[in-house]
Structure formats: C-alpha cells, structure tokens
Amino acid sequence: MEQGIAAVQPLQALFKPRLAADALDVAMHHDRAVIPLGPPQGHGIAVYGKHINAMGVVGKTLQFGRSLHAEALLSQGLNQSLEIGEDSRQDGEMGHGPNPALTDPSHNNRADQTPLQLGVMASGNGSNFEALAQAIQAGDLNARIQRLVVNNPGCGAQQRAERLGIPVSVLDHRLIKDRRELDAELVRLFRADRVELVVMAGWMRIVTEVLVSGFSDRLINIHPSLLPSFRGLDAIGQALQAGVKVTGCTVHIVTEELDAGPILAQAAVPVLDGDDHATLAKRIQEQEHLLLPKALAGLKPTWRQG
C-alpha cells in the first residue's frame, strides 16, 4: 500500500496554504524539509512536542509518534536519527488508506526519455524483482529489464522471470566457485544486453571489485536495515537482537566495502511489540517493494551525458 512511503521534497515545493503552519514554521527556523505522509488519520507525527497530522519535518531528528502508520522515505545526505515519540496511541496496524503519488518534477518529461536499461540480480523468491517489473508496467518507472541473473537454479526469481517473459540466465555459484570469475560473467552478460544500471534485488553473494568497477556508481543494492546500522548478514535478526524500536530498508550504491556505499533512499519501519523475524521481515519487504522502484525512478542517468 502506498501509505507506507513519503518523499522528501524541497520546502518551497510544499509552501501552500493548506499545509500546517506549525510544521512549516519549524522547518523554516531549523532549515528542514517538510514531508507529506498521507491524509490525516487523527494521528500523525510528533515534532518537538507538537502533534501534526500527516506531516513531518526532516532534519537532524525525525521523531515519530507512537501511532504512526506511515514510514518516511529519507533521502541521501540528511543523516537523520529516528526516535519514538511519547504521545498518541498505537494499534499495530500499518498502511491505512491511500497515499498521494510522490511529487516528482521530472515525471512529466519521462515520456520523452529513453527507458533506463536494467539488469537485475536475485538469489531467492524474487519479489523485489517482480515489484520492479510491476512498477514498469504501471508506468511508475520508465525502464526496461533487459535480463535477470540468478545464482540458484529454479529459484522463485527465475520462475517469475519466465512467467513475465523477461530473459533470465543462471550463473550457479556452486559451479563457478571463484567470485571474480562469476562477477566477470555478470559484467559480460549485462554489457552484451547494453544494461545501464544493475540492481541487486536480493542477491545473496558478496560481490567483488570486478562487478563494482564494471558498473561503477551504477550498481544498486537494497538492504533490509537503515544503514549504516546492521550491515551484513541477517540485518533483521540483528535489529531484533539489538532491541531497536525502528528499523527499515535502504537503497544504496554498491562499493567494495560491504553495505557502505552512498545512500539513495531509506524507508523506516517500526519494530512492534511481539515482532519476530517473520513478521518484521514481511513489513520491511512491503516497504522494499515501494522504495526500490521509487528510488530508481528518481535517478538521473548522468552516465548518458558526454
């Protein structure tokens, strides 16, 4: 559901009479951006003790009321901390009601742009891969998936690609045991398909400098935590063990250092009382399906210049 995501926008773009003056005043005095979080629900965001329906302020601190039913998409470079507010109630439900489409000033021009040529890598069920395909079909992402590559023969992602009519290749890591050799084959396949951007959508293998340099600044990963917290394996289990109250997912550029590349977008997900690995993973994955296509839709293909 669209309620789980909101775009960070420049303050000027939201300077309209219908917005709450309190939020705008806070933003203007603290050099922050206002984010719309969907229609009023009688509960919303607590910002410095003020209860504001369907609106938040992003800056050094983004403070969520306990009854929050939306996660915020946080853009690169803000370095927010997330804190749980003390007011309001929480009933544990998520995603109430529709959320307006993200405001994207470049959207009206996308019909005249060449679709982004994507290569996708997946190891498991492939739900993020299909979320990309669905966003493309719906017109929310101006792109084309040139090829899916999987490393587990017969995995769910491969089955989805075959059903969707998307070319798929299998590079079994059990047969190609050298990681550099596997990555070199990935580069060869994607370049042969004229892929511009490679997306690791649940690729459960650590990549080498061969792939990172082969698609420098054009290799994207989605990770189930609010990086830089909980890098590496089983980020959801790490979050539960740490007892945090907020976690989420991150879309970032891949570098040679594991889960340490520049952050493109994040979605925050509260950790609810009684959450286990399965329930938290399900809610994080729902946000991944929204976040990944929107993050890609917001990219500017600067590599096409020159």
Active site residues: 223
d(CA 270, CA 84) in angstroms, rounded, equals 9
d(CA 93, CA 274) in angstroms, rounded, equals 13
Is residue 78 within 8 Å of residue 8, measured between CB atoms? yes
Of 104, 91, 145, 118, nearest to 5 by C-alpha is 104
Q: 178 Cβ partners below 8 Å, 6+ apart?
A: none
d(CA 5, CA 101) in angstroms, rounded, equals 10
Tell me the two tokens of residue 60. 């050094």
d(CA 100, CA 70) in angstroms, rounded, equals 12
d(CA 296, CA 141) in angstroms, rounded, equals 7
The angle that helices 277-297 and 235-242 make with each other, rounded to 10 degrees, is: 120
Reading phi first (left if > 0) and then psi (alpha if -120 to 50, else beta), residue 88 is in left
d(CA 64, CA 154) in angstroms, rounded, equals 42
The strand pair at 61-64 and 81-84 is best described as parallel
Instruction: Please provide the DSSP assignment of 65-83 as one string.
Output: -TT-----EEETT---EEE
**CA angle, residues 132, 136, 140, in degrees to nearest 5:** 100
